[in-house]
Chain A
Amino acid sequence: MHLAYPAVLAVLLFCVGLYGVLARRNAILVLMSVELMLNAVNLNLVAFDVWLRDALHAGQALTLFTIAIAAAEIGIGLAIVLAVYRNRGTSAVDDLRDTAERPDDGGGGGGDSEGAAAEPDQPDRPAEGKASQKAEATA
């Protein structure tokens, strides 16, 4: 079998997953897209392992590890998504914009407000777990 077939399939799957990560709103759909990307990598690993006839079967071993890590990742990711959903009532990725600079502080171009702009972000939020806010950025 031509090596190009699994390689191209992996590339296309990866890019589909990429599109999903960038375009989907729901965090769980984003996680699914991440799974697609991981699987694309797995396919590559398997294909090259077979092609190279690796005596140690490094490709297949790494594929197994990747699958295990993906499972762990999906567990953690879902826990984070659930925590966010409990706190915010939404799991839409583009609603979570706490790291943005809000238009009322500093957008007006007052020369002396730059220093203070970063500060008031946190305190006037409703009382929420800071840890989950940080975590949702990584989800």
Chain B
Amino acid sequence: MTFAAVGHGTLAAAAPQGFLSPTGVEIAFVLVGLVTLGAAVVTVTTRQLVHAALWLVVALGGLAVEYLLLTAEFIAWVQVLIYVGSVVVLLLFGLMLTRAPIGRSPDADSGNRPVALAVALAAAAALVWVVVDAFRTQWIDLDKPQGTTDVTGSILFRHWVLPFEALSVLLLAALVGAIVLSRRNAARSESPGPPRAADSDKEQR
């Protein structure tokens, strides 16, 4: 397939390995992957909202481990810092500020669930088929680490410095946007929401 052609061209050491004789890294990857996937599934299916957030931590943490297994250590630590450290905490704040029920809530899923399931399964089937069909013979050589912090840092501030600065502008814009959106309109007083909710978001950021 077309995807595979790219790999063939650039990767000389594409020695086909059998799936039935996995290496240790593969075993670890699959096991952590299963945990990650399970946590993700629980995240989207549990009826307890706070549990969902906590299972999300497990899933994101599992992904961080996967990054490590793929020798991208800097990404892994960033993942842990930002996702597990701030995003999930932010989500928990959000849940609390919107007075999400503690315990099982019977209406956590909308009526769209069967359709969602069908669409998701169809998408999964199609994508898995395509991906497996394309990459089943490709081999990742993990002997030489690809993502050490040293290399990543130098590359980031040498080649990617301009997008990096643009990204900071984006973050500033997001910050301002969040403030504007969550500021309570002075003329409106009937709002039932909790006071000064948005400020905590920004502190977390």
Contacts and interface: CB of A to CB of B under 8 A. Distances in A.
Do chains A and B make direct contact within the complex (CB under 8 angstroms)?
yes
A20 interface: yes
A68 B171 contact: yes
A71 B163 contact: no
A90 to B, nearest CB: 8
Given A15-B120, A24-B109, A82 B94 contact: yes
A33 B55 CA distance: 12
A60 B40 contact: no
Most chain-B Cβ atoms within 10 A of its Cβ — which of A42, A73, A78? A78
A120 B184 CA distance: 27
A70 B156 CA distance: 18
Given A1-B26, A3-B135, A18-B119, A65 B163 contact: yes
A13 B30 CA distance: 13
Contacts of B152: 57, 60-61
A64 B156 contact: yes
Interface residues of A, number: 77
B131 A4 contact: yes
B102 interface: no
A19 B44 contact: yes
Interface in B100-131: 100, 107-113, 115-117, 119-121, 123-124, 127-128, 131
Contacts of B193: 82, 85-86
A16 B197 CA distance: 30
A118 interface: no
Interface of B: 6-7, 10-11, 17, 19, 23, 25-26, 29-30, 33, 36-37, 40-41, 43-44, 49, 52-53, 56, 59-60, 63, 66-67, 69-72, 74-75, 78-79, 82-83, 86-87, 90-91, 93-95, 97-98, 100, 107-113, 115-117, 119-121, 123-124, 127-128, 131-132, 135-136, 138-142, 146-147, 151-152, 155-156, 159-160, 163-164, 167, 170-171, 174-175, 177-179, 181-182, 184-185, 188, 191-193, 197-198, 201-202, 205
